[in-house]
Amino acid sequence: MSVLSDDKKLLRTELKRRIAALPATTRAAGAIDVIHRILARAEFQRARAILMTWPLPDEINLWPLASVVLRSHAALCLPRYNPSTGGYDVCQIQHLDGGLREGPFGIMEPAPDCSLVPPEALDFCLVPGLGFDSCGQRLGRGRGFFDRLLATVRGVTCGAGYDEQMVSRVPIEPHDVQLNLVLTPSKTHECRVSQIKNGN
C-alpha cells in the first residue's frame, strides 16, 4: 500500500470517529442549516436536473430536498449501480413512493424502470463524502465510484457535510475530482476548480 493510500486510510478512520461522536441534535440542526444554504444557491434554483444520493447513516441527511426538487419540476436524479460496468448510472425518479429500491450495497437507488439520464445533463450535483477541504477536494470511501461519475459532469458539483468533516488538506490522487462548492452548517466554501491544477 502506498504512503498516500495509508494517509487516506488514517484520515477516513479519524473522520468516521468525528462523525460518530456528533450528537443526534447536532446532526439534525446541521442538516437543516446546509439545506438552507443549498436552497439559497442560484445554481440550485435554476437547475433543471439535480443529482442527489440516499444518505448513509454517517452522512448528512439532505433527503428532505428531494421533495423540493420534485415540486420545482426539476429532474430528481440518483445514482444506480450497474453490475455490468462496475460503476454507477444516473437515473431520474418521478416520485418518491415506489421510485426507489435497495441496491446491492444496501443503499436505496432508482428502481429498474427509472429512465437513464446522461451525467453531462446534470446541472447541480450534491456529492457525499467522508471529508472535504476548502479547495474542493473530497475524501470518499475508497472505491472511486463517484469520481468516475463526476469526471463526466459539466454542472456544479457541491460537497456537503458537517463542519467536523472539514480538514486542512485531503490527500489527492490523479483520478480524484475537485468540487466547485463545499457547504457545511457554518460556511460556504467557493472552490476554484483550476487552483490545484495550476498550483495556485
Name the phi and psi angles at 94, rounded to 5: -85, -25
DSSP secondary structure string for all residues of 126-186? EE--SEE-TTS-EE--SS-HHHHHHTT--SEEEEE--GGGB-S-----TTPPPPSEEE-SS
DSSP designation for 54: P
Q: Strand, coil or helix: what is 99?
A: coil
Considering only the C-alpha atoms of the chain, give the largest distance between any 2 of them, rounded to a whole number of Å: 47
130, part of any domain: no
The predicted structure's pLDDT at residue 114: 95
CATH of the domain at 22: 3.40.50.10420
What is the spatial distance between Cα 122 and Cα 75, in angstroms, rounded to a whole number? 9
Range of the domain at 144: 3-123+140-194
User: Would 9 be classed as within a structural domain?
Assistant: yes
- Residue 135 falls within a domain, yes or no? no
131 assigned to some structural domain: no
Number of domains in the chain: 1
In a domain, 185, yes or no: yes
What nine digits make up the cell of 139?
475524501
- Give domain status of residue 132, yes or no: no
**Does 53 reside within a domain?**
yes
Q: Which residues pair with 139 in a beta bridge?
A: 131
Positions of the chain with pLDDT lower than 70, given as ranges: 1-4, 193-200
Q: Give CA–CA dist 136/1, Å, rounded.
A: 25
Residue 101 lies in a domain: yes
pLDDT of residue 198: 32
What ranges in 21-164 are assigned the alpha helix state H? 24-40, 42-45, 64-71, 145-150
